[in-house]
Structure 1
Amino acid sequence: MFKDFKLIAGRPVYIQVKDYMKHLIIKGALQGDQKLPSTREMGVLLQVSRNSVIAAYEGLEDDGFVYVVKGRGNYVAPSAPGTVKGSPRIMDWKAHLNGHAMLAEELDIMKYGIRAEKGTISFTSIAPDEGLFDLDNVKRAFMDRMAVEGNVLLNYGYAKGYKPLIDYLHQYMEHKGVDMKGKDILITNGFTEGFNIVLSALNRKSGHVLTENPTHHTAIKNLKLHGFGIKGIPMERDGIHLGELEKALDEGEYDCAYFVPSYHNPTGIVMSPEKRQSLMKLMAGYDIPLIEDGFNEELRYSGSHVSPLIATAGAGNSVIYLGSFSKVLFPGLRVGWVLADQELIYYLESIKRAQTIHTSTLDQSILYQYLYNGNLEKYLKKARAEYKRKYELTLECCKQHVHYQALTGDGGLHLFVAFAEGFNTRELLEACRAQGVIFTAGEMFYTDGGGQHTMRLGFSRVADEDIRKGIEVIGKTAHKLMG
Structure 2
Amino acid sequence: MIAMGAMDSMFKDFKLIAGRPVYIQVQDYMKHLIIKSALQGGQKLPSTRELSTLLKVSRNSIIAAYAGLEDDGFAYAVPGQGNFVAMTTPGSVTVASRPMNWQDHLSGHARLAEELDLMKRGIRAEKGTISFTSIAPDESLFDLDNVKRAFMDRMAVEGNVLLNYGYAKGYKPLMDYLRLYLEHKGVDMKGKDMLITNGFTEGLDLVLSALDHRHGSVLCENPTHHTAIKNLKLHGFGITGITMERDGIHLGELEQALAEGEYDCAYFVPSYHNPTGIVMSPEKRQGLMKLMAGYDIPVIEDGFNEELRYSGSHVSPLIATAGAGNSVIYLGSFSKVLFPGLRVGWVVADEELIYYLESLKRARTIHTSTLDQSILYQYLHNGNLEKYLKKARAEYKRKYELTLACCKEFLPYTALSGDGGLHLFVAFAEGFKTRELLEACRAQGVIFTPGDQFYTDGGGQHTMRLGFSRVRDAEIRKGIQIIGRAATRQLMG
* Shorter-normalised TM range: over 0.9
Picking from 376, 379, 386, the partner of 1:370 is: 379
For 2:62, what is the secondary structure of its paired residue?
helix
Which residue in 2 is equivalent to 1:422? Answer: 431
Q: 1:446 aligns with which of 455, 467, 470?
A: 455
Q: Which residue of 2 aligns with 1:106?
A: 115
1:90 Cα deviation from its structure 2 partner:
1.0
Is 1:318 the counterpart of 2:327? The answer is yes
Question: What's the offset of the Cα at 1:469?
Answer: 0.1
Task: State the AA in 2 paired with 1:63.
Answer: D
State the alpha-carbon separation in 2 of the partners of residues 143 and 87 from structure 1: 50
1:478 alignment counterpart: 487
Q: For 2:128 and 2:262, locate their aligned partners in 1 and report how far apart those are by CA, in whole Å.
A: 49
Matched, 1:389 2:398: yes
The Cα of 1:70 is off from its aligned counterpart by 1.9
Q: How much does 1:28 deviate?
A: 1.1
SS in 2 for 1:44: helix
| Counterpart in the other structure of 1:248 | 257
The one-letter code of the counterpart of 1:415 is L
Q: Letter of the aligned partner of 1:180 in structure 2?
A: M
Q: How does 1:153-232 map to 2 (within 5 A)?
A: 153-232=162-241
Name the residue aligned to 2:418: 409
Task: Show the counterpart of 2:4.
Answer: none
Instruction: Please name the residue that 2:268 is paired with.
Output: 259
Tell me the equivalent position of 1:466.
Answer: 475
How do 1:253-332 and structure 2 match up within 5 A?
253-332=262-341
Out of 84, 95, 99, the residue aligned to residue 90 of structure 1 is 99
Q: Supply the AA of the counterpart residue of 1:389.
A: R
The one-letter amino acid of 1:250's match is A
Deviation at 1:89, TM superposition (A): 3.0
CA distance in 1, matches of 2:397, 2:98: 58
Code of the residue aligned with 2:11 in structure 1: it is: F
Give the 3-state SS of the residue equivalent to 1:67 in structure 2. strand
2:148 match: 139
**SS of 1:323 mapped into structure 2:** strand
Report deviation, 1:352.
0.3
In structure 2, the residue matched to 1:2 is: 11
Find the aligned partners of 2:77 and 2:84 in 1 and give their Cα distance.
6
Query: Do structure 1's residue 45 and structure 2's residue 76 form an aligned pair?
Result: no
Deviations 1:227-267 (A, max 9, x none): 11000001000000000001000110000000000000000
Q: Secondary structure at the match of 1:233?
A: strand
Q: Spell out the pairing of 1:350-365 with structure 2 (5 A cutoff).
A: 350-365=359-374
Question: Within 1, Cα distance between the matches of 2:103 and 2:132?
Answer: 35
What is the TM-score of this pair, normalised by structure 2?
A: 0.98
- Give the deviation of 1:398 after TM superposition: 0.3
Distance in 2 of aligned mates of 1:98 and 1:467: 43
Confirm or deny that 1:398 pairs with 2:407: yes
1:376-411 CA-partner distances (Å, limit 9, x unpaired)? 000000000000000000000000000000000000
User: Per the alignment, in what secondary structure is the counterpart of residue 407 of structure 2?
Assistant: helix
Could you say what secondary structure the match of 1:89 adopts? coil
C-alpha distance in 1 between matches for 2:53 and 2:92: 27
Distance 1:429 1:27 in 2: 47
Matched pairs, number: 483
CA distance in 2 between partners of 1:269 and 1:101 (Å)? 33
Deviation at 1:190, TM superposition (A): 0.2
1:278-335: CA deviation from partner (whole Å, max 9, x where unpaired): 0000000000000000010000000001000000000000000000000000000000
Aligned to 2:3: none
SS in 2 for 1:355: helix
Moved >4 Å (runs of 4+):
none
Unaligned runs of 5+ in 2: 1-9
Q: How many angstroms apart in 2 are the aligned matches of 1:193 and 1:413? A: 22
CA distance in 2, matches of 1:249, 1:71: 85
The whole-number CA distance in structure 2 between the counterparts of 1:455 and 1:95 is: 38
Query: How far is the alpha carbon of 1:105 from its aligned partner?
Result: 0.5
For residue 35 of structure 1, give the secondary structure of its aligned residue in structure 2.
coil
Distance (whole Å) between structure 1 residues aligned to residue 16 and residue 332 of structure 2: 46
The offset of 1:94, in angstroms, is 1.4
CA distance in 2, matches of 1:452, 1:32: 64
Between 23-32 and 271-280, the greater mean CA deviation after superposition: 23-32
Deviation of the 1:68 alpha carbon: 1.6
Q: Which amino acid aligns with 1:391?
A: Y
Task: Show CA shifts across 1:65-120 (max 9, x none).
Answer: 11122211111112100121221431011110000000000011101100000000
For residues 14 and 88 of structure 1, the distance between their equivalents in structure 2, rounded to whole angstroms, comes to 36
Q: Which amino acid aligns with 1:294?
A: G
Name the CA distance, whole Å, in 1 between partners of 2:256 and 2:87.
74
Could you tell me how far 1:365 is from its partner in structure 2? Answer: 0.3
* Structure 2 letter corresponding to 1:393: L
The one-letter code of the counterpart of 1:358 is H
Equivalent residues in 2 for 1:4-83 (5 A)?
4-83=13-92
Structure 1 residue 417 displacement after superposition? 0.1
**1:145-183: CA deviation from partner (whole Å, max 9, x where unpaired):** 000000000000000000000000000000000011001
| Gap change, CA 1:89 and 1:63, over 3 Å in 2 | farther
Letter in structure 1 aligned against 2:428: F
Query: Which residue identity does 1:69 align to in structure 2?
Result: V
Q: Give the secondary-structure state (helix, strand or coil) at the position aligned to 2:412.
A: coil
Does residue 1:238 correspond to 2:247, yes or no? yes
Structure 1 portions without partners, runs of 5+: none
Percent identity, aligned pairs only, is: 84
Q: CA RMSD in A?
A: 0.5
1:430: Cα distance to partner?
0.5
Please give the secondary structure, in 2, of the residue aligned with 1:298: coil
1:261 counterpart SS class = coil
Q: Which amino acid aligns with 1:164?
A: P
